[in-house]
Structure 1
Amino acid sequence: MASGEQKFPPQKQDTQPGKEHVMDPLPQFTCPDYKPSNKLQGKIAVITGGDSGIGRAVCNLFSLEGATVAFTYVKGDEDKDAKDTLEMIKNAKTADAKDPMAVAADLGFDENCKRVVDDVVNAYGHIDILVNNAAEQYECSSVEEIDEPRLERVFRTNIFSYFFMTRLACIEAHEGRKQHYKHNISECIQRKCKTTRLYIYQGCNCGIYKGISLQLVSKGIRVNGVAPGPIWTPLIPASFKEEETSQFGGQVPMNRAGQPIEVAPSYVFLASNQCSSYFTGQVLHPNGGTVVNG
């Protein structure tokens, strides 16, 4: 996965969420060179949008690192990807971790997020780690193309769900298990590379983590972010035209798209207290060499 020119076969998916199992080539969610070391042993982790792409890679590495993993997916659209991911992390989990869980939910609504949190707490007793990863993006050439239903849909997925899941997980930590591990929930809020034709996607995900981190640091809850560059996930063929998909990733210094497995270790680092206990309100940028200022 070194730098170098890379092109993908032209492809386009007509609906969102995208489907990983029909992509060519399939995204890489694991790597034989990765050596787990029980960084998350005994932890309970919730990953939204964990059925595919970066979410799948995070589920896999968290399982390898000893966490018990629950992830969400969209019923009817992501059933096969979710089934495949569930089987993968069952095989990856350590002996002392509990069986993983896949929860179907539209996280744009508070009551659905509450059901997810309740299901996880009822199954495992508590939540230690929350990764807000579920996302939608749509390409447009002008703000005039963005109508109210599209704006609401993107904000429900990319903004509302993050707040709902964070608030409910914090309530659970504060009220439901006051003696458990300092209410230590590490949240990774995902952002993507800046693209001039992804207006509302950019606007949704920029800077949310800062305000939340300042509010929650006094409670012993660390909030950090991961801002990937061009990563080969189902969002790409579901968002771009065939020609753009075939050239995807060529704009960064490494001249190629990244793979989900190249992003997932950032989440392991931020979720692991022994690695990042002095990190909060920060963002990691696995982006192929693009310089990020500020």
Structure 2
Amino acid sequence: MTDPLTKYPRPPFEAQGQSFPGKTAKMAPEPDHGEESYKGAGKLTGKVALVTGGDSGIGRAVAIAYAREGADVAIAYLPDEQKDAEAVGNWIEKAGRRALLLPGDITDPAYAREIVERTVKELGRLDVLVNNAAFQQPNQGVTDIDDALFEKHFRTNVFGPFYATKAALAHLKPGASVIFTSSVNSKNPVPTLFAYSATKGALSNMVIGLAQLLAEKGIRVNGVLPGPIWTPFIPAGMSEDSVKSFGSQVPFNRPGQPAELASAYVMLASEESSYTSGALVTVAGGMPLF
């Protein structure tokens, strides 16, 4: 038995900064995506999953976990993240599953349709769609947020998942699962992440609305609300002082690791959760959320 308070590194962390979207290998300490720790149990045997933002962070952990649970996995990611994506592809194949790498920009509706079509064509079907790709940039005040930057938040975090989900509906069958990565910020907005928080509020609302719209088709829709998680988003989107103390604001007094979220995504995708739809699952180290 492991104490969750001391299982992973705690702040203070060393000062570090990157440009968005950030690189996994440049982080100190490097995040745990379950490469050595996640053990599968066949919960997704025979399924095919598409994970957007699957090259790093939470998406990377989900892709690795899904493969070890028996699924073939396609990952979508920005072209600049090719090296990280290839590493994830290698982990998927080491688990004995097929990997499909799909570089591009989820803000483009044509690309969103393409990744769905290629997944079905090359992997044979689509059972699980994980809308995880996101963009984040902090702000000081509303007037500091450039119009184009505000729009980029919504095009990436809201429009992209809408495009992908809409395209997937032609292929998802009863029992399929759509999962959104929202955030605790959807319920507790952070002023310095005004645009990002607003998009996550929209995503949580979309989860609840889509769960009702797609119920008659037998398609389940759920969301995960991560708290502070140690991903490349952190050094790429926060000040060095914020990075040093990252995770200290929750009762566990540390950030979560991507690997610690994987089980929530596995649970929501598995047949064992056949009555779970419209749920927003919080994974936030004891952070109260109402």
TM over 0.5: yes
Q: Do the aligned partners of 1:187 and 1:224 also contact (CA within 8 Å) in 2?
A: yes
Aligned to 1:186: 177
Per-residue CA deviation, residues 51-93 of structure 1 (Å, 9 max, x unaligned), is 0001000000000000000001100x21111111111111123
Q: Secondary structure at the match of 1:115?
A: helix
Tell me whether 1:201 sits opposite 2:203 in the alignment.
no
Count of aligned pairs between the two proteins:
278
Aligned to 2:27: 23
TM, length-normalised to structure 2: 0.92
Q: Which residue, 247, 250, 253 being the options, matches 1:252?
A: 250
RMSD over equivalenced CA pairs, Å: 1.4
Q: Do the aligned partners of 1:49 and 1:73 also contact (CA within 8 Å) in 2?
A: yes
**Aligned amino acid, residue 255 of structure 1:** N
Aligned to 1:61: 65
Q: Do the aligned partners of 1:129 and 1:184 also contact (CA within 8 Å) in 2?
A: no
Mind listing any 5+ residue stretches in structure 1 that lack a counterpart?
174-181
Q: Which aligned pairs between 1:264-279 and structure 2 lie closer than 5 A?
A: 264-274=262-272, 276-279=273-276
Q: Secondary structure at the match of 1:12?
A: coil
Q: Secondary structure at the match of 2:180?
A: strand
**Aligned amino acid, residue 194 of structure 2:** Y
- Once residues 7 and 267 of structure 1 are traced to their aligned partners in structure 2, the CA distance between those partners, rounded to angstroms, is 29
Q: Secondary structure at the match of 1:183?
A: coil
Q: Do the aligned partners of 2:157 and 2:199 also contact (CA within 8 Å) in 1?
A: yes
- Once residues 36 and 57 of structure 2 are traced to their aligned partners in structure 1, the CA distance between those partners, rounded to angstroms, is 18
In the TM superposition, what is the alpha-carbon distance from 1:32 to its structure 2 partner?
5.1
- Once residues 37 and 121 of structure 2 are traced to their aligned partners in structure 1, the CA distance between those partners, rounded to angstroms, is 36
In the TM superposition, what is the alpha-carbon distance from 1:161 to its structure 2 partner?
0.6
**Aligned amino acid, residue 276 of structure 2:** F
Q: Which residue, 58, 75, 78 being the options, matches 1:74?
A: 78
Shifted more, 84-93 versus 1-10: the winner is: 1-10
Tell me whether 1:6 sits opposite 2:4 in the alignment.
no
Q: Do the aligned partners of 1:50 and 1:73 also contact (CA within 8 Å) in 2?
A: yes
In the TM superposition, what is the alpha-carbon distance from 1:19 to its structure 2 partner?
1.2
- Once residues 33 and 260 of structure 1 are traced to their aligned partners in structure 2, the CA distance between those partners, rounded to angstroms, is 11
Aligned to 1:290: 287
TM, length-normalised to structure 1: 0.91
In the TM superposition, what is the alpha-carbon distance from 1:152 to its structure 2 partner?
1.5
- Once residues 178 and 143 of structure 2 are traced to their aligned partners in structure 1, the CA distance between those partners, rounded to angstroms, is 34
Aligned to 2:40: 36
**Aligned amino acid, residue 46 of structure 2:** G
**Aligned amino acid, residue 288 of structure 1:** G
